[in-house]
Structure 1
Amino acid sequence: MTSTIHGPGPLPTPPLAQEGPDGLVEMNWDPITRIVGSLGIYTKIDFKKKEVVECHSTSSIFRGYSIFMKGKDPRDAHFITSRICGICGDNHATCSCYTQNMAYGVKPPHIGEWIVNLGEAAEYMFDHNIFQENLVGVDFCEKMVAETNPGVLDKANKTEAPHAGEHGYKTIGDIMRSLNPFSGEFYREALAVSRSTREMFCLMEGRHVHPSTLYPGGVGTVATIQLMTDYMSRLMRYVEFMKKVVPMHDDLFDFFYDALPGYEKVGLRRTLLGCWGSFQDPEVCNFAYRDMEDWGRKMFVTPGVVVDGKLVTTSLVDINLGIRILLGSSYYDDWTDQEMFVTHDPLGNPVDRRHPWNQHTNPRPQRRDMDDKYSWVMSPRWYDGKDHLALDTGGGPLARLWTTALAGLVDCGYVKATGSSVQINLPKTALKGPVSFEWEIPKHGSNTIERDRARTYFQAYAAGCALHFCEKALEEIRAGRTKTWEKFEVPDEGIGCGFTEAVRGVLSHHMVIRDGKIANYHPYPPTPWNANPRDSYGTPGPYEDAVQGQPIFEENTRENFKGIDVMRTVRSFDPCLPCGVHMYLGGGKTLEKLHSPTQSLTGE
């Protein structure tokens, strides 16, 4: 047996199955980069029509946080749930603190919330930058395009970049070369930027990615002028970087539409987007459920659900009550005959049995069967009173910008929602004057390219928000209001729910307290929403839906097919969980056995 492990270089060719009697070829990618071996994409491809006919998304990992959270002290919830993920752990800690704030009835001091916002803004900037430039960017780099679409690379080398004066790359081919792993100029520059954004986060929350100064009731960070100065000095360098990044990515992504007519259909699915909102306004937010609609709409990223391009709600109460957890093709037994923890919310609205407050986790391991059960991921849906909608996050930024733009509620000077777009105004920096960008609702809908494009614009959006948060924090400090934490008591009985946006999309935590301990706790990060399998009604999950039916533009023959269009689509959602590698069997180097089982490592 031979094996090869690939880093960020060219895609391996997946094992090629025999063509079936229907003329379809089964091709599988398992694991997918960035999923630690837990995500597999299983497809059937019609090479004659150059189309993906069928797709199944599988997960081979069971976590079980909802099981071992039971009986724990609620005050430990954010420390424990942070460890759900080694990438977005701080998003979980933040969401858990929001949940606890509600359950305990505590409102943090203003400066405490501005510090949390600054930490979360730094996390968006850090994670989106490193994923976009050092992982997604590789899918569009010169080496990758040369291997999958040499004709496109030839055209890129001859195509002048429309915004060359803003980013410095003369042709689209030059942009692609700058994205080559390790050797590309922009690839290396982005790595350096990721360091400063991580430092920004640590200034506010102590440690990345598991915050050491974040608590219910506020933060333990000491609020000083020097703290904000250290953050701002790094932030302004990032702002200058974004003035180059946005036009560069616009040129690259627009080129793919021009070079490959019809590419807008890659990764296209019905526009069903969910955003749970981000960045609290402490002047309004008190974390009380009864006021949740009001303070939710004051977030600097507006919560909402977009159906077929239209905003159907901005109410966090509606969003909360509409969540349903379906099992469908996942490896679990149902909980219809088990206890209901919450029958009505604090406003008296009935709570469904399939809501996370009432969920029980009953794992049932079994053999994978693509016609029945094939994944450890459950199928979250949002019930609009008529249909169980398979919302996705658009990779996070697409849903955030879309809901915020349509709601038209945000205006803090640096960022403004117009009702059809989002304006981002970046101030003068050391080398460049003021720059304004505008993200508009994409005419091509929710597809692979637009998910990736939104990620670039949201980096600039997060930077603009951070500028505002710094100014507000400085106002508090200069006024002497430097208390960052408020005392609280844990009730014997209580419920809480927290809503925010993890980097790659919707994140909610739902907690029930009894006898002062956690009786039920269910976190729902973006990956279950995006990577879920077919549900109880047979509706495919978003990965499945986006890949299934998409055209294939790769120039390679069936025998050398890499599946780059499939990979671009899956990665446009920014799959969550720690980074993995490509691995396949065949065509590699035989591993040499160095020691017998009885030998020590020293050979003695």
Structure 2
Amino acid sequence: MTATEARSAKRKPEQIVDMSWDPITRIVGNLGIYTKIDFANREVVECHSTSSLFRGYSVFMRGKDPRDAGFITSRICGICGDNHTTCSNYAQQMAYGVKPPMLAETIVNLGEAAEYIFDHTIFQDNLVFVDFCEAMVKATNPGVLAKAERTEARNGHIHGYRTIADVMRAFNPFEGEVYKEALKVSRITREMFCLMEGRHVHPSTLYPGGVGTMPEPTTFTDYLSRLVRVLDFVKKAVVMNDDVFDFFYEALPGYEEVGRRRILLGCWGSWQNPDVCDYRYETMNEWGKAMYVTPGIIVDGKLVTNDLVDINLGIRVLLGSSYYEDWTNEQPFVTHDPLGNPVDMRHPWNQTTVPLPQKRDFDGNYSWVMSPRWYDKNTTEHLALDTGGGPLARLWSTALNGLVDTPYVKATGHSVRISLPKSEKLPEMTLEWKIPQWSNTLERDRARPYFVAYAAAMAFYFLERAMGFVRAGETKVFENYEVPEEGIGCGFHEAVRGVLSHHLVIKDSKIANYHPYPPTPWNGSPRDMYGTPGPYEDAVQGQPIFEENGPDDFKGVDIMRTVRSFDPCLPCGVHMYLGQGNTLSKLHSPTYGAAHA
């Protein structure tokens, strides 16, 4: 009998309370979570996820010079702008038929590795782990904190903290040792990033066709010196998180049900292999499989496909409960892909964004986020894939595929082994992320420090390759190209928090259609046209409540842990909608004069 079935057998008369958190804090952007909670049975019985931000980059990209797409789309987000630039350049390179030099591709990989380390560290240690720190656990589960004080930390000989409570104290905001050290690490890793991509978070040296980074030997040694400085922290972070999350399973039987949903994971792959990747659509299956994070769609724990052509053709954008008009009666931009496969009208190449502002109605439309789904032609299901916050899907797909095999990272078919060299205080270590039983809150969070270690390990590999190119005199970093009169392209990448695709249509050498799809529309989507809830909604709805507080002082920590485990980032694709020409004005200031928008 599962924990859910056991709860059902012991149900009490319901005590339903409407509770909402809008906006959710410690995430990026404006996200509202609206729930109905049955306090008698300690369960969330209903959940709706809503965003009040209009996603409109696809509207004003039309008519632009396609070469500007990377610079414009990097402004989609103030967190992962470089991921958008990289993905946009991938799409453009396909449309232009250009392959960057191998050193340029390696420089991009180094920049993206630094971004993963930076972003995951600051989110996990300064935002997510606040929900697991001593101060929060004391306020929501004092009984659990008492157990933590008595529980030895299994990996204390590595990270230096004797008990689980000591680890929790180290993450207390503004005061805890790890909390403060994570902020220092974020500065160092951002410096690593800037050495490769020029500026954080909107890169100044990434272009279709290559990079503007000067490939001097000191560029790479400066990066290496910083990578070595954070290596002790990376190693400790993995085992500290393991200790805390293992403790929660032990201290709260049934906690595996918190944030648990059907295993429906999507990964689009990351870090191109310049030996294989030529950006041609016709060879996308081959170079997709050669990525250093392997793409894949996992359904109920099984790998459905790792073919980027299949992944691309299966994407559907459903309106469902979102504030838009349908576009399926319009003429398609793309009827067939370069291999002759038909392209669906709800595919991003054919999407037209037509905003339809209206009052929020949870029985109708209630969010500006659309509902991207993946159509499984074998089952005819429109799958509400999630990214597991990014790392869970990346590790799971890479592990199952068993294709990545470098001196630093090896996929085994059931795990990912990550080898890190000796650092200042800790010896050489091999960490192993194993495919878990569940796709739930704790496993999404556990995967994050493991992927930081993965990114650090791959950074060593990319450094070796980059310095090898320089020593061999292969220092070319840019390849010329021509913008075609007509063309299409698609870029597939992993933003920090998961799947990222850019779809581009060129006509008359201008952008005719452009659609970026970051991870948060997948994770934060509302109910679709078939009534299927989005992953946030699905993960929260039906989960048990373990917080010891009652309705009057309820903080919703279990709900917040679940939502934050996906690493929400709502600003992606946002601009202001003003209707029919309304004007925003800023009144006269005696100091600064008048300004008008």
Matches within 5 A, 1:18-417: 23-35=15-27, 38-385=30-377, 386-417=380-411
Say whether the 8 Å CA contact 2:53–2:571 is kept in structure 1.
no
Structure 1 residues 168 and 361, CA, compared in 2 at 3 Å: closer, same or farther? same
Q: Which of 501, 513, 529 is the equivalent residue of 2:506?
A: 513
Deviation at 1:24, TM superposition (A): 1.2
Q: Distance in 2 between matches of 1:507 and 1:336?
A: 23
Separation in 2, partners of 1:363, 1:216 = 31
How many Å separate the matches in 1 of 2:460 and 2:317? Answer: 38
- Unaligned 5+ segments in structure 2 are 1-12, 573-586, 593-597
User: 1:329-388: per-residue Cα shift (whole Å, max 9, x none)?
Assistant: 000000011120000000000100000000000100000000000000000000011100
Task: Provide the aligned length of Structure 1 versus Structure 2.
Answer: 564
Q: 2:428 aligns with which of 408, 430, 434?
A: 434
1:473 alignment partner in structure 2: 466
Structure 2 distance, partners of 1:226, 1:84, is: 32
SS in 1 for 2:127: helix
**How big is the shift at 1:37?**
5.4
Mapped partners of 1:459, 1:143: distance in 2:
26
- List alignment gaps of at least 5 residues for structure 1: 1-20, 580-596
* Equivalent position amino acid for 1:257 in 2: Y
RMSD over aligned CA atoms reads 1.4
Give the distance between the partners of 1:224 and 1:457, measured in 2 at CA.
Answer: 31
The one-letter amino acid of 2:495's match is A
Q: Is the 8 A contact 2:148 2:163 kept in 1?
A: yes
* Aligned mates of 2:372, 2:154 — CA distance in 1: 42
Distance in 2 (CA, whole Å) between partners of 1:380 and 1:459 is: 27
Q: CA deviation at 1:240?
A: 2.1
Q: CA deviation at 1:33?
A: 1.6
User: Which deviations, in whole Å up to 9, do the C-alpha atoms of 1:183-231 show, x marking residues without a partner?
Assistant: 0011001110110000000000000000000000010001111111000
- Alpha-carbon distance, 1:263 to partner: 0.4
Shift, 1:22, TM fit = 6.5
1:491 and 2:490 are equivalent in the alignment:
no
| Residue matched to 2:578 | none
**In the alignment, is residue 448 of structure 1 matched against residue 441 of structure 2?**
yes
Residues in 1 aligned to 2:382 and 2:262: alpha-carbon distance in whole angstroms: 14
Counterpart for residue 549 of structure 2: 556
SS at match of 1:523: strand
User: Are residues 457 and 49 of structure 1, via their aligned partners in 2, closer, same or farther at CA, if it must alter by over 3 Å?
Assistant: same
Contact 1:136 1:571 in 2 (8 A): yes
Give 1:419's aligned amino acid.
G
Aligned to 1:593: none
Which whole-Å CA distance do the structure 2 matches of 1:184 and 1:238 have between them?
Answer: 18
* 2:311 partner letter: I
Q: Which amino acid aligns with 1:326?
A: L
> Could you report, residue by residue, the CA deviation over 1:44-63 in whole angstroms, capped at 9, with x for unpaired residues?
00000000000000010113
Shift of 1:34: 4.2
Identical positions, percent: 72
Equivalent AA in structure 2 for residue 74 of structure 1: P
TM, length-normalised to structure 1 = 0.92
- 1: distance between equivalents of 2:571 and 2:46? 27
Code of the residue aligned with 2:206 in structure 1: it is L
Query: Partner of 2:416: helix, strand, or coil?
Result: strand
* Counterpart Cα distance in 2 of 1:306 and 1:33: 30
Partner residue, 1:504 = 497
Mapped contact 2:267–2:498 kept (Cα < 8 A): yes
| 1:245, distance to aligned residue in structure 2 (A) | 1.1
TM superposition outliers: structure 1 runs of 4+ over 4 Å: 34-37, 597-602
